[in-house]
Amino acid sequence: MKKVLIIFILLLTGCGKQEYSKNLFYMDTIINVKLYNISENRANEAFDEIEKIYKKYEQLTNFYDENSELSKLNNDVNYEISDELLELIKIGYEWSVKTDGLLNINIGNLTKIWHDFRENPISLPNVDNIKVEHLEIEDNKILNNKVNIDLGAITKGYVTEKVGKYLEKNGINYYLINAGGNVKVGKSNKGYYNIGIASPISNETFEVVKDENISVVTSGGYERFYEYEGVMYHHIIDPNTKYPANYMKSVTVIGDDSGLCDILSTTLFLMNIEDGKDFIKNYDVKVIWFTNDNEIIKSDNYE
């Protein structure tokens, strides 16, 4: 269920004064970080630490790197993993329970098949015989005899939130992190940032979020896909149908926590809009759906 380079930020403004900017590339995504209202030395120190954080989790969770901790676990369920990787897996397990298996991180055998198809689309993959099992964890121990864990649905938002917390803990409160479809911003000298959400059907924005201290995360299938015999096949796979989800063109979640917004955006993309409206009642977030009929629907609490 990897969610990379899928949308959006076309317009990001909100701070004046001195700005320091750095581009990183991790998790198959260009990550731009901007820092404001600090000295150049502090900015460079922060950039070094931010890169260490993203690099660390890249090495932990890269599903396609045979040397990552996750790959070693997928090859040997008894492999002794770090506390950091276990924490992410536990989060994925908890959300699998909350969503009745709809957000299933133990789906790597299926996401790999679709990934390989998009890389070499000779014919549609035969997924009928692919078995998707639920992850089982008890007392921090994985009970499955074999796992196929893909953490793409949760890692980028989780790490981006961690980076934001690092900055704030160190007194760097004016910042902007744009990690592909995940945007997290701190304070702004103007009192807000303009965060533009790109339309899935054009090169324009269809909505601008005007706020500070906020996370904005979008899931969609319109940038990472392949069209085969007139049908678009993207990267967000429904574990029930074993095919790419087709309820909408995109969904954007706006809230305080980038990790939660990342998880919710994938979850909502995997269910119809009415079910999604009911699901988010338990969470303090706002949501925008872009339907297959090009209609824009907003959650009831959206101003």
Query: What's the rounded mean pLDDT across residues 123-150?
Result: 91
* Residue-range domain boundaries for the chain: 1-303
Q: What pLDDT, on the 0 to 100 scale, is given for residue 6? A: 33
Query: What's the rounded mean pLDDT across residues 66-83?
Result: 97
For the chain, give the mean pLDDT.
Answer: 90
- Smallest CA-to-CA distance from 218 within 181, 248, 191, 180 is with 181
Query: What's the rounded mean pLDDT across residues 99-119?
Result: 89
Q: Which DSSP category does 134 fall into?
A: P
Q: What pLDDT, on the 0 to 100 scale, is given for residue 125? A: 81
- Give pLDDT tens digits for 145-159: 999 999 999 999 999
What is the distance between the alpha carbons of residues 21 and 19, in angstroms, rounded to a whole number? 7
- Give pLDDT tens digits for 227-285: 655 666 667 899 999 988 889 999 999 999 999 999 999 999 999 999 999 999 999 99
Of 30-39, 40-49, 169-178, 194-203, the range with the lowest mean pLDDT is 194-203
- Smallest CA-to-CA distance from 208 within 266, 174, 254 is with 254
**Burial classification of residue 66, based on how many CB atoms lie within 10 Å of its CB (0-12 exposed, 13-18 middle, 19 or more buried):** exposed
Contact yes or no for 234/224 (Cβ under 8 A): yes
Q: What pLDDT, on the 0 to 100 scale, is given for residue 198? A: 87
Q: What pLDDT, on the 0 to 100 scale, is given for residue 299? A: 96
Q: What pLDDT, on the 0 to 100 scale, is given for residue 1? A: 43
To the nearest whole percent, how much of the chain has pLDDT over 90? 74
Contact yes or no for 287/301 (Cβ under 8 A): no
Q: What pLDDT, on the 0 to 100 scale, is given for residue 259? A: 97
- Residue 11 pLDDT level (bands cut at 50, 70, 90): very low
Fold of 1-303: T-fold (3.10.520)
Q: Is the pLDDT of residue 115 over 60?
A: yes
Q: Is the pLDDT of residue 67 over 80?
A: yes
Q: What pLDDT, on the 0 to 100 scale, is given for residue 3? A: 37
- Give pLDDT tens digits for 185-237: 999 999 999 999 988 888 889 999 999 999 999 998 655 556 655 666 667 89
Greater confidence (210 vs 126) lies with 210
What would the two tokens of residue 301 be? 């609490």
Q: Which residues contact 252 (CB under 8 A, 6 or more apart)?
A: 7, 8, 197, 207, 216, 217, 218, 265, 287, 288, 290
Residue for token pair 């059907």: 201
What is the distance between the alpha carbons of residues 58 and 63, in angstroms, rounded to a whole number? 9
What is the distance between the alpha carbons of residues 256 and 216, in angstroms, rounded to a whole number? 9
